Structure 1
Amino acid sequence: MKLFTTKQIAAIDKFTIENEPIADIDLMERASLQMTNWVVQQFSTEERLLFFAGPGNNGGDALAMARQLADLDYQCEVYLLDFGKPLKGSPAINYKRLEEQGKVKLTKLRSENDFPEVSDTDVLIDGLFGSGLSRPLEGLPAQLVQHINQLLNVVVAVDIPSGLMGESNAGNKLENIIRADFTLTLQFPKISFLFAENEQYVGQWEVLPIGLHPDGISETPSPYSFADVEDITARLPLRTKFDHKGTFGHALLIAGSYGKMGAAVLASKACLRAGAGLLTTHVPHMGFPIIQTAVPEAMASIDQHDSMFTSFPDLAPYAAIGVGPGLGLKRNSCRALCDLCDQAKVPMVIDADALNILAENEAWLEKLPEGSVLTPHPGEFRRLVGETTDSYDAIQKQMAFAKKYNCVVVLKGAHTSVAAPDGTLCWNSTGNPGMGTAGSGDALTGIILGLLAQGMSSVDAALVGVYLHGLAGDMAAKKHSEFALMAGDIIEHLGEAFLKIQ
């Protein structure tokens, strides 16, 4: 699914109005009806619905919803911010329709004294300001938002919580943003919904289709997208009857050190579960019996050092290389990683301590083979690119880094983002909080390595790997719960995840 900035969404709205064609008031009615249907499914007619509307199209949506729900026997009241100017366009039409209907109590808010009394069971619908907002709220709107946020009632935001910007919220007044329990976003999620710091405002969000024109969507360029199963399935490699283990690639995994052999085991199992035909895992001498016993399907390459990574085998046989899980930060390991970057001619998957070593030796980033995949968590990412002001700033630096070093950057999180060298960025749509557990990142490294070894492009391997990792985690959580989820459970559900997307 393509994602757009709020300005682009407004342009697609305009395109739809002009080319469907459809009147603005009718498009507003269509959008409002989708939200009305959602409310009907969630709340009973015994609950009073209080609509807080602003003067723009977001308020117009709220006014239309109030009328539609009143016709369905809901108890609706509308509280309209009054700035002393008459409503215009579709909001004015919807306000007149409410007056003519005569079923909804209408109140204009001119000061704090006009704020309504609210009972505990009332549901509050936020339609104050929409995605066109360009500056922080202040004055009476800010007072109203703060008043609503102090209440314990369920809050449902129309399209976007009032006060929240659609992209960057750097410089915004965070105390003047609605804290919604649910956000009913129209056609596309806003980019800011995908950032951890905004969860407290957005709550649970749901995308409601409103029939924006497909040509307007396809013709509007955007570097941003949100992964869906159709796109992921299209990227999967096809297997034919006469394929064999040589066809599916030979991967080299360099992982493990004294006390951290579990990382090598988890990444090895994940690599094989992801479909690599052959896997050689390079481990310190002391790790040989562990890897041979725990992962008999993998071949073992033994480092000359007993407890750390200091060397690697001839790289000629390998289609892809993974390095980092459980590696350690010893000086000899740093030298060996530098040599590896010099000699590698195939894409590498770089994670964990390998990333930390690169962060301390920035010049080595220029040595990375084309199409390498870096998989940092937020802390490792900051070490690579420096501090960021917010998540929007982080993805801009992520995209710039991917372009500069001609690599793929997988920034792990609730909605893991994958930045490609061509300037595009895709957020993942699978996964759950239970995956925030030891070894989960090692499993992801193994999955991407296994897909790369099969000949997938670096971008495809990263996107499919992240999606499968999250999907397997979702399946594992259903069986074990988010609380009890372990990295090994993710690996054990990879087969089920493949079956679901094929």
Structure 2
Amino acid sequence: MSGTGGTRDAAERAVTVTSSVLRRWPLPPPGTGKEARGRTLVVGGSTRTPGAVLLAAESALRSGAGKLQVATTATTAAPLAVALPEALVLPLAETAGGGIDAGCGRRGGELAELVEQAHAVLLGVGAVGEPDVRGLLEDLVPQVSTVAVLDALGLAPVTADVTFLHHLQGRAVLTPNLTELAIVLDADPEEIAADVPAAALELAARSRTAVAAGGGESWIAAPDGRLWHDATGGAGLGVSGSGDVLAGIVTGLCARGADPVQAAVWGTHLHGRAGDRLASSVGRLGFLARELPPQVPRVLAEIEV
């Protein structure tokens, strides 16, 4: 990682995200029907981690997205459809390891058709098998014409080629945790932890995407060098599934028509404030990722009144 005095200066100039900041940067009007709030497509999951897709998909709806579609492994598609009665669920061929077969992303297939119709596509939550995920996304992402959000193993193609999303011209968001941020930048995790804003800025500039990176606090970087700092949420958000919720919120906001950078900033704050609400009612530690999505509409209402 190439940390510099310039990135440190940028961190000092970072905008602190608050409700008042977001009120001056309102989300697009919601419209009156589900089509007006966009189609969200979540692609991911495996036979070992089906819950990640459930968390992300529900979070997209809780953030106000209008129409939900999910593509996941054939074995888990039926129970997921029951858990998500609001969604169209597409079963996909599986690998021997329980992940999505890389061939499912080829042009002309059912998944490719959903990608072409979606207003925002979330890729990678709960996915397993790095070579298969890379192969799947290398076929799918060139077919995305709107917004792509990459999370977890979905970051693998960017790790292999940082220009992977350049064709989207900024219509993309990456949501790495600090471990994933270090892997993508091929940097020492301790170096990343010591200067998260510099790392987020570097990845945003190199990948030409919005980057929402966090641990105990979050930094959101835009490709043009803008930077935001969000201190909401606290240690309680360091729990299994929390990142899936964040990725789903950001994707849902993109489907509603938010600019990718705006969706990353708003989504990070909604995620953190949802954690704050649970910290006050449940405890600073011990609340579950599945408890976060129902808090999101309440936080939205608090900000938008």
The normalised TM-score by structure 1 is 0.53
Matches of 1:270 and 1:398 in 2, distance apart? 24
* Partner in structure 2 of residue 274 of structure 1: 63
* Partner in structure 2 of residue 208 of structure 1: none
Does the aligned pair in 1 maintain the 2:47–2:75 contact within 8 Å? yes
Does the aligned pair in 2 maintain the 1:398–1:409 contact within 8 Å? yes
Matches of 1:439 and 1:243 in 2, distance apart? 31
Aligned counterpart for 1:451 among listed residues 249, 253, 265: 253
| 1:412-462 Cα distance to aligned partner (Å, 9 max, x none) | 122200000111110113112111100000000100000000010001101
Pairing 1:336–2:127 present: no
Question: Letter of the aligned partner of 1:498 in structure 2?
Answer: L
* Partner in structure 2 of residue 501 of structure 1: 303
1:237 Cα deviation from its structure 2 partner: 2.4
Matches within 5 A, 1:346-361: 346-361=146-161
Aligned counterpart for 2:51 among listed residues 243, 251, 262: 262
Matches of 1:488 and 1:295 in 2, distance apart? 13
Matches within 5 A, 1:164-175: none
Matches of 1:228 and 1:305 in 2, distance apart? 43
* Partner in structure 1 of residue 20 of structure 2: 230
- CA 1:390–1:381 in structure 2 vs 1: closer, same or farther (change >3 Å)? closer
Pairing 1:313–2:103 present: no
* Partner in structure 2 of residue 290 of structure 1: 79
Give the structure, 1 or 2, with the largest relative contact order (CA under 8 Å, sep 6 or more). Answer: 2
Matches of 1:225 and 1:297 in 2, distance apart? 37
Matches of 1:238 and 1:346 in 2, distance apart? 16
Identity between Structure 1 and Structure 2 (%): 26
Q: Structure 1 residues 390-399 or 377-386, which shifts more?
A: 390-399
3-state SS in 2 of match to 1:370 = coil
Question: Letter of the aligned partner of 1:454 in structure 2?
Answer: R
Does the aligned pair in 1 maintain the 2:181–2:192 contact within 8 Å? no
- CA 1:391–1:330 in structure 2 vs 1: closer, same or farther (change >3 Å)? closer
- CA 1:339–1:404 in structure 2 vs 1: closer, same or farther (change >3 Å)? same
3-state SS in 1 of match to 2:129 = coil
Aligned counterpart for 1:424 among listed residues 226, 229, 234: 226
RMSD value, Cα: 2.2
Matches within 5 A, 1:457-468: 457-468=259-270
Question: Letter of the aligned partner of 2:293 in structure 1?
Answer: I
Question: Letter of the aligned partner of 1:248 in structure 2?
Answer: R
* Partner in structure 2 of residue 384 of structure 1: 184
Question: Letter of the aligned partner of 2:201 in structure 1?
Answer: M
1:342 Cα deviation from its structure 2 partner: 1.9
* Partner in structure 1 of residue 278 of structure 2: 476
Does the aligned pair in 1 maintain the 2:112–2:143 contact within 8 Å? no
Matches within 5 A, 1:93-242: 222=13, 224-239=14-29
3-state SS in 2 of match to 1:499 = helix
| 1:152-192 Cα distance to aligned partner (Å, 9 max, x none) | xxxxxxxxxxxxxxx59xxxxxxxxxxxxxxxxxxxxx968
Structure 2 unmatched runs, 5+: 1-7, 105-110
Matches of 1:248 and 1:400 in 2, distance apart? 32
Matches of 1:404 and 1:360 in 2, distance apart? 13
For the pair shown, which has the larger CA radius of gyration, 1 or 2?
1
